[in-house]
Structure formats: structure tokens, C-alpha cells
Structure 1
Amino acid sequence: MLLGVIADDFTGASDVANTISKGLPGQGGLRTVQYLDTPSFGAPTDVEAGVIALKSRSIAPPEAIRQSLEALEWLLRQGCRQILFKYCSTFDSTPQGNIGPVAKALAQRLGSKGVVACPAFPDTGRRVYQGHLFVGDRLLNESGLENHPLNPMTDADIRRWLALQTKEPVGHIGLDTVRAGASRIAERLAAAASRGETLVIVDAIANDDLVAIGKAAAGSPLITGGSGVAIGLPGNFIAQGLAGAHDRGVEGISGPEAILAGSCSAATREQIALHKTRHPSRAIEVNDVITGKVTAGDLAAFLIENTGRAPLVYSSSTPEKVTSIQQKYGRDRVAGMLDELFAETARRLVDSGIRRLVVAGGETSGAVVSALDLKAVAIGPEIDPGVPVLVSTGKDPVALALKSGNFGAPDFFVKALERLAGR
């Protein structure tokens, strides 16, 4: 294994696995496998990139560090020459963590300074300029992410946000330097390291910027960022003759289907609004979940009864309604009960024979995949930017699409089901 990735949630892991497997046009990517939690077994010898999906984004920082270091040790045992710590392209975190504490712990273990930190993903409108993160034409803290139910992003200055998390100075490399090329970026990273700066925010507003950053970090033990920063990494190994282009094809899976949506993002709410005009859909009211009026058995029965018609169940609400519910019942209680509801629903669906499953939302995807205990998935074609087809290994494979809340076109749900079937 050449490249090891530690992702702080399951949709993000799929996103970066897709980027690494796809590579640059005309160049190809690496043979990539996504592992659902740190494996207890060794990787096959033909795997060139291993992506470990953790559910560590919103847990206590000490536990996130522990899980991430455990994943790091496994990747190093597989022979990885470089580690990528992948976090959300909207930098989802709190002033306490977990991005900064985990990145710092990984850097200390690897003895690395002047480490790239770049959440940019231009294909989905995430760009970093002058150390500030933009979503489309809006600063991060004016994009709607300031209302995130778990990790509200109230400051677009990623240097300032990261400094709160690490309690130490954070470096910055501006776009002019990035546009000067990989060697100039590398010089600035080395200078940051000499000043003792562990993490360095690097501007990027286009994919060419990310390719240059990847080339500059070719010899770095550690790089951190969103999936976009991985665009140029496969080419480094291919250029060295350590890897070659590979076939990304996986066989589609036909059979019964279901859609589970737990994200409250604007994109997911738009997708739900379109989908429910044409397909059987059922909203989940949190009050009914808390009181036991709605159970996983109820949701599974609805979805199974409507197979063949792209059925959907969803708990998505407006930011105002989410805030009201959290104030009434407590944020952790609401999140925990919804995660368990979706997890148990997914277990029942797969046990009943559902073989195509679309899941929207990072936390929801993590709960579902953990419940299904799938171990590892192969990476297939891209459905929409950042969302590939995933097919589980072993007996009775399941085809999955794990969508970050803000990803995907309005017709994503139907499109995903078609791609999962190989159409």
C-alpha cells in the first residue's frame, strides 16, 4: 500500500476514495479500497490506497485522536509512504476540535512540520482564498453552515479557527505562491516547518491549484484537507513508477432498493422535495421517535412495501426546526436516537433482501454502515462529484451510495439508484 487515508466520517471517506481511484484525466488513479473502521486484518497486496472511514468528526477530541492514531498504525503496517487526514470541505468542527487536535497528533507521530491543510474542493464550490473558506460565492459563515446542527461554522478564517483548536500559530500560503508552482509551495512549506508551524493553510480556488499542492507535498509524510487535495496525489506515485492506471469498473447490483436521508442540509432538503413529488416518501417526526410512536420496524415495513418505486424515509428539517427540537430534547439525545433508528432500519432492510441503499448525511451514513458491519467496499463509478458507487465485498454484496449532506444534484436519489444497478 502506497497511500493511506484517515477520514473522519463515512461519506467523506467515499468522497476521497473516489478522488484517489479516479485520478486525473488521462493519468488514472490508484487501486483503492475503503475500510469501514480500522481493520483487524491485513490489506491485499494489490491495494495501492487504503481509506479508513471513522466516525470521529463529532466525538470527544481525545477519543477522535485515539481512533485516528490506531488507524495510522494500521496503515503504516501496510507499508504506506504517505498519510492523508481527510476532513470535510466545509471544515465541520468546533473551536475545540476535532480537525486541529487530530492533525496535530498525527503530525507528532510522524515527526512532520509544515503540513498542508487545505479543505478546498472547487468541483463542489469550496474554495480557500486568503486563508478564508468560501462555499460558492459566500463566506463559510454566511453560507448556511453557520446553522449546522452539530458543528456550526461561525468563522470563515480557517487560520483563526484552527488556531483555536491547536493553541499554536497556523501558517498560510497565499494563492500567488500557489500559482508560482510546486517548487515555490514546497519552499514555503519548508520555511513554515523551520518556524515550528505544524499546520499551514494553503489557498486553492481551482483544481490546477490542488494538483500543484499535491506535487509540492509529494515527499511529505502527512497532508490534510478535503478530498480535493488528493487530486494530485496518485500522479506522484505513478510518476515514480510505483503504481499504474487501473480499471474502476465494478458490477452493478440489481434488486430491491431504499433511500434513507438524515441530513438537514439545503441540498438534501431540495433533493427530498423533488423526490417525494414522484415517489413514496415518509417523513420522520422527532417527537414520534422520542415517544416511541415511530420505530425502525415501521420504517422498514414502509420501504419494503414500496420497493420498485424508489421509496424514501427522511428526518430532514429546516435549521429553525432542528434548533427548536434540540433545545427541547437535547442535541446529543436527538442525534443518538436518530442514528440508532436509521441503523436498525438499515439492518432490517438488508436482512430482508434490500440490495441497493442510498444514504444521505455523514452522521447517518456512519450509523448505517457501522450497523451493517460490511468491513470493506470496492470503489465504482462516480454518481455526482464526490459520491461514488460502493459495493461491499464478501457474500451477498450490497451496493451503496453514501452522500454528504451538501453534495449531489436535485435528482441525485433516482440517479444513484440507477448507477448502483449498473445503469
Structure 2
Amino acid sequence: MAAQDLIFGVVADDLTGGVEIASLLVAGGVPTEFRIGVQHGEPEFDAAAAVVALKSRVAPVAEAKESAAEAANWLRRRNPRQTFFKYCATFDSTPEGNIGCCTDLMKEIVGAERVIFCPSFPEKERTVYNGHLFVGRDLVSESPKRHDPLTPMTEPDLVKVLQPQTRHGIGVLPWKAVSSGAKAMARIVEELVDSGRPYIIADAICDADLEALAEFTADWPLVTGNSTIAACFPAIWRRRGLLDGHPAPKRLGPLRGPGAVLAGSCAEQTISQLEEFRKAGRPVLRIDLREALSGEDPAAQALAWTENHMGEGEFAIATSAEVSAVNELQERMGRRAAADLAESVLARIAVGLVERGLGRLVVAGGETSGAVVNALGISRLAVGPQKRGSIPIAQGDLGRPFGLCLKSGKLGPDDIFADRLQAMEKGEI
């Protein structure tokens, strides 16, 4: 392989997912470049893999397609051996998009004849069986995901979820074939492609299934799914000698300075994490966004509140709310406008905190993370390795090193906020 070629080029539909897949690649010993947003100029960097994290998951379809195509074409300048489209384990999307429509474009760009869709994350009990998505024992439509304010998942059959988003036919690679090995999978895939169904939802209920699917698709030009199947590729590349000559990823150092949490996710897990943070004795400010409709300035009020806390340890500011409050705000403003309000408030707070000397920041929520990082003007991150059962940390450049942990609202143990702030301070993973 030529020195300038990439082994792996990733387009992620949100920032937290992009950081997650980058951290798993780094943990697998793969030097990985991480960029945020659509890139311009030549992709000049020394790495075996590159991740471009977009904010396209809930963007208007035309905008999502444009950014996905630009990211994929930018990566193609480095001739990646394989392109990967990363989305959420719960297949977050709507009938309009944006998984199917973005995959359609990438399929054309890389010249793929067939594409696998593998969202499963068995460790977090997100699994696919008979083409249906489960969260634990429940279908996704019976899980809290059905209440997601932006991408409510009310249909568990992923064929039905994906079909309105794409012009291509869709089939299922059943667990019986996945668990039987490459020959069984190849037979089913050929039958599906020959019958006009090149988009293939893969069943996977355990890590062994992901490993089998990764081995099976390691030479496919385009693979899509969650970060967990991507985490299986480094071992394959190493076995094939593709990583020979690449240096080990660099370690992140410790960071000092005040630490804070900004939470915009309304996921039940984030609500629990905020409560755990509060019970541990750390101050938590809950912002009621409904007050902004009456002329209040919640960002300015929150920054005034922090004046008494910046030098006294870590604190949290949250727009996270229970389902009833979210529904009320959406009824008054509309779903997208309500989300935009939450993101803009937290982004303004982030900028104000950095101006006041903040050194470490945990952000809960994929869309919130994108808004915050964009407001801070960060377009490149050094990402640390994934620690099993936790959330990775990263560092950006604000004229000084700045610590970040960008967390999906649904993930992480209850004590994740304090744990990640301390990890940044100590230089741990």
C-alpha cells in the first residue's frame, strides 16, 4: 500500500459518534486523524485512518447529503482502502433520512455494489435479530428511544425504517447465516444482490457476530454501522500487515484548569448522570428553556451563576428535561426550533466559560456536542483510546490545550461526569 493511502476513511453523522469510533481505532493501535465538519484543502496528515465527524443526523436532507458527499470525496483524495459510514446503534433517523440518502451518495462515490448495515452494540444491549432492532429485551419501539425529541424510533423493523430513505432494495442477513460463517453469509448476500436488494441489514447479537461480519466485509469498499463493527477491523489489518510501518498513536497528557459539564441530552441516562453528579456534592444548574420564550436570557443568567463556582470545583449546567417539559416546549416552538434553542444556549455558555478560563469540559448529547465545538471554533481533535465501559476523552487547541469529553446522551455509567473530568486532569484514559 502506498504511504499516502488511508486504510480506513470514516464519515460520522454526529460528533460523539465520530469521537467514539476514532477512540476505538486508537485503542486498536491505529493512528487516527480526527476532523470536525466539512473539510477544505488537501487531507495532509500522517495517519492510517481518518474520521470526519459531521452534524448531519437530524439536518435537512439536502444539507445532510451535501455534507456527507463532501466528506466522502475529501477522504477519497487519500484513496482509503475502505470507507465507513458511522451512525447510531439505535439507527437514529426519520422517514426523510438521513442514513439511507447519505449511504446512496457514498455508494456512488466509492463504487460499491453492495452495502452492509450493522448498528448492533451488544455490550450496550443494542442488537439486531431478524432485521428488528432491540434495546435490551425490548424492541426499540418499546424503549425510551420512542420518546427521542428529534429521532423517535417507533418502528423496530429496520427494513421498514430504511426503505423510505433510499431508492435501493433492502434485505436481511439473518443470524443463522452470520453464525454459520463466511460461506453461508456469501450465499445469502449474493441472493439478495441478485434480487435487487444490495442494502443488507445484518443481524448481530454478540461480539462474535460482529467479528464474523467484520472479517466477511473487510474488503468491501463501503461498510456502514455503529463503531463496534469498526473496532473489529484493526486486528484484521494487523494480521494482514496493513499497519506495518505506522507508528503507535500518541498519548494524551494531563490538563489543569476548572472543569464543567454541559448537558443538552434528554435521555434517561443523562438525567440519571446529572442526579449522581448532584448527589456527589457538585452544583448543578437546571435551565428551563420555556423561560426564554418570555424574554429571559438563560445563557447570561447561567454564566452569572458560574461566577461563584469556577474556582470551587466542578459544576454542571443542563437544559436536559423530562419528557413532559420537552413535549410542552416542542408544542410551543416546534421540534427543530426547540432543539436549536437548547443548542444555542449551551453553545453560548461554553464560549463564555472558555473566556473565563475553563480547561476541561464534558458535553452530554450528540447534537449539543456539535453545537458547542462549532461555537468554540474547534475543527480538529486529538482523540484518546476507548476504555471499556467508559467514554473517550480528547484534546483540542484553543491557543492552549483544552480537554473535552463528548458523550452520547444514552451512554456511560451514572458517575461518568466526575470520572471523565478527573481523567482529563490526570491524563488517564
TM-score for the superposition, normalised by structure 2: 0.93
Alignment partner of 1:310 is 2:314: yes
1:299 is matched with which residue?
A: 302
Alignment partner of 1:94 is 2:88: no
* Amino acid across the alignment from 1:399: G
C-alpha distance in 2 between matches for 1:358 and 1:212: 35
| 1:45 shift after superposition | 4.2
Query: How do residues 358-373 of structure 1 correspond to structure 2 at under 5 angstroms?
Result: 358-373=362-377
1:66-98 CA distance string (max 9 Å, x none):
100000011010221111100111111111111
Q: Which runs of 5+ in 1 are unaligned?
A: 24-28
2:217 is matched with which residue?
A: 217
- With 111-120 and 180-189 compared, the bigger mean Cα shift is at 180-189
| 1:275 shift after superposition | 1.2
C-alpha distance in 2 between matches for 1:305 and 1:381: 34
Alignment partner of 1:11 is 2:11: no
1:378 is matched with which residue?
A: 382
8 Å contact kept, 1:16–1:386: no
C-alpha distance in 1 between matches for 2:187 and 2:396: 42
8 Å contact kept, 1:114–1:196: no
* Amino acid across the alignment from 1:74: W
2:412 to 399, 408, 411: 408
C-alpha distance in 1 between matches for 2:76 and 2:12: 15
- With 178-187 and 66-75 compared, the bigger mean Cα shift is at 178-187
| 1:299 shift after superposition | 1.8
| 1:383 shift after superposition | 5.3
**Between the two proteins, what is the percent identity of the paired residues?**
36
Alignment partner of 1:165 is 2:165: yes
2:255 to 253, 269, 278: 253
C-alpha distance in 1 between matches for 2:410 and 2:45: 35
8 Å contact kept, 1:118–1:204: yes
Pair 358,394 (structure 1): closer, same or farther in 2 beyond 3 Å: closer
8 Å contact kept, 2:287–2:298: no
**Cα RMSD for the two superposed structures:** 1.8
Aligned length: 418
Pair 91,318 (structure 1): closer, same or farther in 2 beyond 3 Å: same
1:398 to 390, 402, 411: 402
* Amino acid across the alignment from 2:408: S
**What SS does structure 2 have at the residue aligned with 1:276?**
helix
| 1:115 shift after superposition | 0.7
Query: How do residues 250-289 of structure 1 correspond to structure 2 at under 5 angstroms?
Result: 250-277=252-279, 278-289=281-292
**What SS does structure 2 have at the residue aligned with 1:21?**
helix
C-alpha distance in 2 between matches for 1:383 and 1:346: 26
Query: How do residues 18-417 of structure 1 correspond to structure 2 at under 5 angstroms?
Result: 18-23=23-28, 29-244=29-244, 246-247=248-249, 249-277=251-279, 278-307=281-310, 308-382=312-386, 385=389, 387-393=391-397, 395-417=399-421
C-alpha distance in 1 between matches for 2:335 and 2:103: 26
8 Å contact kept, 2:24–2:385: no
C-alpha distance in 2 between matches for 1:300 and 1:190: 58
| 1:167 shift after superposition | 4.5
Q: Which runs of 5+ in 2 are unaligned?
A: 1-5
1:244-271 CA distance string (max 9 Å, x none):
5724621121111111000000100111
**What SS does structure 1 have at the residue aligned with 2:344?**
helix
8 Å contact kept, 1:253–1:355: yes
2:3 is matched with which residue?
A: none
* Amino acid across the alignment from 1:127: T
**What SS does structure 1 have at the residue aligned with 2:392?**
strand
C-alpha distance in 1 between matches for 2:109 and 2:393: 33
